[in-house]
Amino acid sequence: MRPDPAVLHANEIRKGDIAYHESYFGEGDERLHYVEAGEGPLIIFYHGFPSFWYCWFNQMEMLKSHYRVVAVDGLGSALSAKPDSLAAYKVESLAAQLDAFARHLSGGKRFTLIGHDWGAALSFAYAQAYPKRLNAVIGMSAPPYNLFLDLVRSNAEQRARSHYMEVFRGLTLDAITEDGLPRQLWERVYDTLISAGMLSAKEGDLFRLALADPAAIHGGMNWYRANLGDFADIDLSYHWPAPQRKIRIPSMLIWGDKDLAFVEEFLTQIDALAPGISVVRIPDVGHWTSMDKPEITNSAIEYFLRCYVRPPG
């Protein structure tokens, strides 16, 4: 099997002697591709849509000297499996797969989970369902899954902003291919980050390659198909693990104040779901908080981890 070009590039530009290695967990439709570096307390990074593991490179570089950092290609994306069954993409199935993956990496030891976008929604849901498995949880640029469901039920502005999700749910693989959607999504997100100086042209090419397969775009959209119905039909039966289940472990939300994906009202509502959560607002940053001015995001993560997940020594 050919090595992941993103791993090769990460090792070309890395700082220090700690290298990046790729591997796989699971078989067939359950296989996950992941990349890791370093030793110490385990931190798992889970990206959103449309992206792949390399979106976490800046955070992994910062933390690899003191932690074992592992970034996964989410189910349906990049080099991970892309099952056709929507059941595999249900939040509860993804959380169970994530738990098995973490146990594969470090047995029953607690770990820290950091997610962005859909990865944040999954991370917060995992913290609700498996609190004894985590030291802490960090979500970026998205509310917890249950809170998002509440928003689209009750907030007309959020329904308008999230209309694209309903469009995604209806797109077939043929339509994604014929419309050139992989290229469109790359230009909308990553060409913009390149123009802003947040990604190099080489890194942009890596994202282009990861998103080039229409099946990877279709797989990412399966998260929307599996976990969202028509907005008018969403009720408490969609909630997982349960309505009003609290997050009882140390938690943090990182939010760019130029992010237009979600209404800001959720920033005042999240504390009811995660009592005592730390909310960090980053000025002049949009949705892509791990890559847009990453030094600010890194500083917030580093401080939070010093408080709750101290490495040995």
pLDDT at 157: 97
Q: Considering the domain boundaries, does residue 313 fall inside one?
A: no
pLDDT at 172: 97
By percentage, how much of the chain surpasses pLDDT 90? Answer: 97
Rounded CA-CA distance 294/303 in Å is: 14
Q: Considering the domain boundaries, does residue 21 fall inside one?
A: yes
- The arithmetic mean of pLDDT across residues 62-86, rounded, is 98
Does residue 33 contact residue 24 with C-beta atoms inside 8 Å? Answer: yes
Q: Considering the domain boundaries, does residue 246 fall inside one?
A: yes
E strand or H helix that includes residue 66: none
Model confidence over 106-126: pLDDT tens digits? Answer: 999 999 999 999 999 999 999
Q: Considering the domain boundaries, does residue 171 fall inside one?
A: yes
Rounded CA-CA distance 300/287 in Å is: 16
Q: What is the CATH number of the domain that holds 292?
A: 3.40.50.1820
- The arithmetic mean of pLDDT across residues 227-246, rounded, is 94
Does residue 249 contact residue 113 with C-beta atoms inside 8 Å? Answer: no
pLDDT band at 296; cut points 50, 70, 90:
very high
Q: Considering the domain boundaries, does residue 166 fall inside one?
A: yes
Q: Considering the domain boundaries, does residue 194 fall inside one?
A: yes
Residue 247: burial class (beta carbons within 10 Å; 0-12, 13-18, 19+): buried
List, in sequence order, every residue forming a beta bridge with 230; answer none if it has no partner: none
pLDDT band at 313; cut points 50, 70, 90:
low
pLDDT band at 287; cut points 50, 70, 90:
very high
Angle (deg, nearest 10), helices 265-273 and 145-154: 130
pLDDT band at 105; cut points 50, 70, 90:
very high
Q: Which residues touch 142 (CB under 8 Å, ≥6 apart)? A: 48, 115, 116, 117, 118, 120, 121, 148, 261, 262
Statement: residue 159 has pLDDT above 60: yes
pLDDT band at 2; cut points 50, 70, 90:
confident
pLDDT band at 66; cut points 50, 70, 90:
very high
Helices (H), ranges, 48-189:
57-63, 91-106, 118-129, 145-154, 156-161, 163-170, 173-178, 181-186
DSSP letter string over 177-229? HHTTHHHHHHIIIIIHHHHTTSS-HHHHHHHHHHH-SHHHHHHHHHHHHHH--
Rounded CA-CA distance 230/84 in Å is: 20
Model confidence over 218-234: pLDDT tens digits? Answer: 999 999 999 999 999 99
In terms of residue numbers, what domain contains 126? 5-308
Residue 23 token pair: 């591997």
pLDDT band at 309; cut points 50, 70, 90:
confident
Q: What's the domain count of the chain? A: 1
The pLDDT mean for the chain works out to 96
CA 263 to chain centre: 19
Q: Considering the domain boundaries, does residue 105 fall inside one?
A: yes
Q: Considering the domain boundaries, does residue 116 fall inside one?
A: yes
pLDDT band at 310; cut points 50, 70, 90:
confident
What's phi and psi for 235, nearest 5 deg? -140, -170
Residue 185 token pair: 């999504």
pLDDT at 312: 61
pLDDT band at 311; cut points 50, 70, 90:
confident
pTM given for the model: 0.98
- The arithmetic mean of pLDDT across residues 167-194, rounded, is 96
Statement: residue 208 has pLDDT above 80: yes
pLDDT at 31: 98
